[in-house]
Amino acid sequence: MKRRTLLASAAMGLALAAAPAFAQDKPKIGFVYVGPVNDGGWSQHHHEAAVKMKEHFGDSIEMIEQESVPEGADAERVLTQMALSGADLIFTTSFGYMDPTINVAAKFPDVKFEHATGYKTADNVSAYSARFYEGRAITGYLAGAMTKSNKIGYIGSFPIPEVIRGINSSFLHAKKANPDVEMSVVWLSTWFDPAKEADATQALLDQGVDVVLAHTDSTAPLSVLEKAGGFGFGQAGDMYDYAPEPRLSSIIDEWAPYYIDRVQAIIDGTWTSQNVWQGIGDGMVGIGEITGPVPEDVKATVLKMKDDIASGAYHPFTGPINKQDGSAWLADGEVAEDGVLAGMNFYVEGLTGDIPN
């Protein structure tokens, strides 16, 4: 078996040696999306950022895109075809593309890759993700301050660290605004199913929840809240269409500055592999305008919180924080390490229910 693999990779190397012959003078930038580019959420915002990047550079670069690419084997093929077509830099914009990106990158050492929200890197693969939990501190605080029933809801997709961080950050800050607040979490086992997201929002409202935080991608929760009453937040995009109510604010994925930055590095020939986790301060996480009947003092508090997070003066996970079972996690004043946050798989104290396993 081992010999076979060795032979295979040697032959692959030979076959691909011809590839750079197709390299063009204009840098060619590729983007791969997991959903359709008009999904109203995750993929759409990557696509919009890509378009902004293209506008920034105009005709000096060429851009190619591929939408609705399933993770796994199909992704690997699509990435290989992009590399073969002469792409110089390829952004792979979903967590599930991590291993395919690493595999394809190993075969094309001259092509650079940027993988979103993963943790693996290589000489020609960077990883980039956003500290969305910083944004969730803001929306969580607003949720806590605005609830009248003292019940807020969180619509989760899958129990992965990214979502659990979001839940914990929202809840901790909702509690800061309102010590009596309770949070219900509903898991949907999907990133995108507008009907299910709408049903989940309705179910939360039926249970007495009046502010809903969503970690799924569509605007369905806001549509339901607009109809049935209650507050919500923009997710991935500003969703300003739903302002001033039910949308109170939003967590915006701001990928464009990063894309422009990295493409510039390709043009300048200064691109090197990196692993970045950027937040409000770096401009990768945007906070939408605060709208609706948010009292001035609450508004001032969250804007200050936003500035403090941006400047580094405040970290959303600052002790004392206990884990759900009551055991100590962070001592007073202690700040969570990135390593722990990256793999977060526990609830903080006060949350009810179990993380599905």
Partner 1 sequence: MIRLEKRPQPSRLWTIVTPLLAVVLTMVVGGIMFALLGKPPLEAIRTIFWDPLFHPQFASYSRPQLLVKAGPLILIAIGLSIGFKAGIWNIGAEGQYIMGAVTGAAVGLAFYPSESVLLFPLMVIAGALGGWAWAMIPAVLKTKLGTNEILVSLMLVYVAENILASASASWLRSPEGMGFPGSRNFKQWPAVHNDELIANTGMHWGVVCAFIAVIAAYVLMARHIQGFNIRLTGEAPRAARFSGVTPARIVFLCLGISGALAGMAGLFEVTGPAGQITIDFNSGYGFTAIIVAFLGRLNPVGILLAGLLMALTYIGGELAQLMLGLPGASIQLFQGMLLFFLLATDVFTNYRIRFAKGELA
Partner 2 sequence: MDPVLLVASIMVSATPILLAALGEMVVEKAGVLNLGVEGMMITGAVVGFAAAVSTGSPVVGFLAAALASAVLSLSFGFLTQVLLSNQVATGLGLTLVGLGLSALVGAGFEGVRAPGMGKLWIPGLAEIPVIGPMFFRHDFMVYVSLLLVAGVWAFLKYTRAGLILRAVGEDHESAHALGYKVVRVRLAAIFFGGACAGLGGAYVSLVRVPQWTEGMTAGAGWIALAIVVFASWRPLGVLIGAYLFGGVTVLQLNLQAAGAKVPVELLSMSPYLITILVLVIISARGVHGAPGSLGRSFHASA
Residues that bind partner 1 (CB under 8 A): 1-2, 4-5, 7-12, 15, 22, 36, 64-74, 76-78, 80-82, 84-86, 95-96, 99-100, 103, 118-119, 158-161, 189, 342-345, 356-357
CA separation for the pair 7, 316 (Å, rounded): 51
Q: Please list every residue from 302 through 321 that binds partner 2, using CB under 8 A.
A: none
**Binding flag, residue 60, partner 2 (CB under 8 A):** no
Q: How far is the CB of 10 from partner 2 (least distance, A)?
A: 41
Output b/e per residue, 153-166; b: 16+ Cβ within 10 A: bbbbbebeebbbbb
Q: How far is the CB of 147 from partner 2 (least distance, A)?
A: 14
Q: Count of residues for the chain?
A: 357
Contacts 24+ apart (CB under 8 A), 266-274: 266/27, 266/29, 266/88, 266/89, 266/112, 267/27, 267/57, 267/60, 267/61, 271/89, 271/112, 273/121, 273/122, 273/123, 273/124, 273/125, 273/126, 274/121, 274/126, 274/127, 274/128
**Binding flag, residue 196, partner 2 (CB under 8 A):** yes
Q: How far is the CB of 345 from partner 1 (least distance, A)?
A: 5
> Which secondary structure element, helix H or strand E, spans residue 205, and what is its range?
helix 194-206
CA separation for the pair 176, 172 (Å, rounded): 6
Q: How far is the CB of 50 from partner 1 (least distance, A)?
A: 12
Beta-strand ranges (E) seen in the chain are: 28-32, 62-66, 89-92, 112-116, 125-130, 151-156, 182-187, 211-214, 232-236, 247-253, 275-278, 285-287, 321-322, 328-330
Cβ nearer to partner 2, comparing 311 with 352: 352
77 binds, among partner 1, partner 2, none (CB under 5 to 8 A by kind): partner 1
**Binding flag, residue 117, partner 2 (CB under 8 A):** no
- Tokens representing 78 are 């699509």
**Binding flag, residue 38, partner 2 (CB under 8 A):** yes
Q: How far is the CB of 158 from partner 2 (least distance, A)?
A: 11
Q: Check if the beta carbon of residue 252 is closer than 8 Å to that of residue 238.
A: yes
Q: How far is the CB of 339 from partner 2 (least distance, A)?
A: 27
Cβ nearer to partner 2, comparing 87 with 185: 185
CA separation for the pair 29, 298 (Å, rounded): 43
Q: How far is the CB of 23 from partner 2 (least distance, A)?
A: 34
Q: How many CB atoms lie within 10 A of CB 354?
A: 10
Which residue stretch of 9-17, 32-40, 108-116, 257-265 sits at the interface with partner 2 (rule: CB under 8 A)? 32-40
**Binding flag, residue 130, partner 2 (CB under 8 A):** no
Cβ nearer to partner 1, comparing 327 with 357: 357
**Binding flag, residue 194, partner 2 (CB under 8 A):** yes
Cβ nearer to partner 2, comparing 220 with 251: 220
Instruction: Give contact residues for partner 2 (rule: CB under 8 A).
Output: 36, 38-40, 44, 153, 184-190, 192-200, 202-204, 206-207, 209, 218-220, 223-224, 227, 241, 352-354, 356
